[in-house]
Homo-oligomer: A and B are copies of this chain.
Amino acid sequence: MRVGVLTGGGDCPGLNAVIRAAVRKGVQQYHYEFTGFKDGWRGLLTGAAVPLGIPAVRGILPRGGTMLGSSRTNPFKERDGVRRIRENLGRSEVDALIAIGGEDTLGVAARLWEQYGIPCVGVPKTIDNDLSATDYTFGFDTAVGIATEAIDRLHTTAESHMRVLVVEVMGRHAGWIALHSGLAGGANVILIPEQRFDLDEVCGWVTSRFRASYAPIVVVAEGAMPQDGDLVLKDAAAALDSFGHVRLSGVGEWLAKEIERRTGKEARTTVLGHVQRGGTPSAFDRWLATRFGLHAIDAVRDGDYGVMVALRGTDVVRVPLAEATARLKTVPLERYEEVKVFFG
């Protein structure tokens, strides 16, 4: 038995831990052999493969990123994608695939199994924690930890100058990182994509915080949007487009500017950006990723394909890949309401 492994999509702390655990258990307990495909599905299309054994995965547990490289290549958008995958699987004598990735990567795995019978097991990966079939994805805890540490640091600057500090964190469609890091960092306002925010209300919280003689921290997910504010944001984006810096023309910048204008208080923005997804995984993420790896290879051994490993409470279970990618797990409004007691 030879098992192929690939990592797709944006990098995420814990990917190496999954690879290591699957290889370690597969080789040692089941006497499998392993092939790593480089840069996600691209490696399967081009045949870029490396042998994976226990020596190759030693020492990678604490390392961020992925030793196999990653890409966003989608074989269904490539000419002859499935045929080339079949060929390369055949050439490498790979009998089953472990695909570690987010919605897109897992979607491909689901379709390869369902429509073409290519035996795939999925391992969910997203910094954003927005996959619905699992309590948590690895990488999320690390991202929240880094954001929380940044917020801790920003408090003292805010207090010293009695300024508003707006912190833009990751989360295009789901506000989990903003919610958890904002809560843990003692933010005074948290804004998430799931609920459009009212700028007057935000300014009210800011002002109320200053009245208590403290300076406010506003944590905003990159995908958060003002009520009726589309036009404004679009204008902003357009202005920046002429220079091409769309990436930084984020809601954080816009918000700081608006808060300044409306409250008369100085405001500054920090966009945490890529530091949230790099570097050594937290202990929690190493533990979760390792267990995912161990359970993924068990699914392979059981011939249980078309499934994804998932965390439920403290157990790792298997769920159909289709279910996993069916819908985004967003922050429930009652969970968001719960933390509003800390606003202002």
A interface list, Cβ under 8 A from B: 10-11, 13, 15, 24-25, 28-29, 55, 58-59, 61-66, 69-71, 135-136, 141, 144-150, 152-157, 159-162, 165, 180-181, 183-186, 212, 214, 236, 239-240, 242-245, 247-249, 253, 257, 268-275, 277-280, 282-284, 286-287, 290-291, 294, 312-314, 338, 341-342
Task: Note all chain B residues with C-beta closer than 8 A to A159.
Answer: 65, 69
Taking the nearest CB of chain B, how far is it from the CB of A79, in angstroms? 23
Complex CA gap A277/B155 in Å reads 11
Task: Note all chain B residues with C-beta closer than 8 A to A275.
Answer: 150, 153-154, 270, 272
Closest to A63 in B: B156
- CB <8 Å contact, B157 and A11: yes
Task: Note all chain B residues with C-beta closer than 8 A to A341.
Answer: 24-25, 28-29, 294
Copies in the complex: 4
- CB <8 Å contact, A65 and B156: yes
Taking the nearest CB of chain B, how far is it from the CB of A310, in angstroms? 11
Task: Note all chain B residues with C-beta closer than 8 A to A247.
Answer: 269
Complex CA gap A225/B144 in Å reads 34
Task: Note all chain B residues with C-beta closer than 8 A to A160.
Answer: 11, 15, 65-66, 69-70
Taking the nearest CB of chain B, how far is it from the CB of A299, in angstroms? 14
Of A55, A150, A156, A161, which is in contact with the most chain B CB atoms at under 10 Å from its CB? A156
Q: Which residue of B25, B135, B162, B184 contacts A314 across the interface (Cβ within 8 Å)?
A: B135
Q: Which residue of B62, B149, B185, B271 contacts A152 across the interface (Cβ within 8 Å)?
A: B62
Closest to A286 in B: B184
A239 with B243, Cβ < 8 A, contacts A11-B156, A181-B283, A287-B184 known: yes
A145 with B282, Cβ < 8 A, contacts A58-B214, A157-B64, A249-B245 known: yes
Task: Note all chain B residues with C-beta closer than 8 A to A270.
Answer: 273-275
- CB <8 Å contact, B249 and A279: no
- CB <8 Å contact, B271 and A271: yes
- CB <8 Å contact, A278 and B157: yes
- CB <8 Å contact, A283 and B64: no
Complex CA gap A211/B291 in Å reads 26
- CB <8 Å contact, B314 and A180: no
Closest 5 CB pairs of A and B: A153-B279, A65-B156, A64-B156, A11-B160, A153-B278
Task: Note all chain B residues with C-beta closer than 8 A to A186.
Answer: 59, 61-62
Task: Note all chain B residues with C-beta closer than 8 A to A294.
Answer: 338, 341
Taking the nearest CB of chain B, how far is it from the CB of A21, in angstroms? 8
- CB <8 Å contact, B342 and A24: yes
Task: Note all chain B residues with C-beta closer than 8 A to A162.
Answer: 69
- CB <8 Å contact, A274 and B156: no
> What are 28 pairs between A and B in contact, CB < 8 Å?
A13-B156, A24-B342, A61-B184, A64-B153, A65-B157, A66-B160, A69-B159, A135-B313, A144-B284, A150-B275, A153-B274, A155-B278, A156-B279, A157-B274, A184-B284, A184-B286, A184-B290, A236-B243, A240-B240, A242-B242, A245-B248, A248-B271, A270-B275, A271-B271, A271-B273, A282-B282, A284-B284, A312-B313
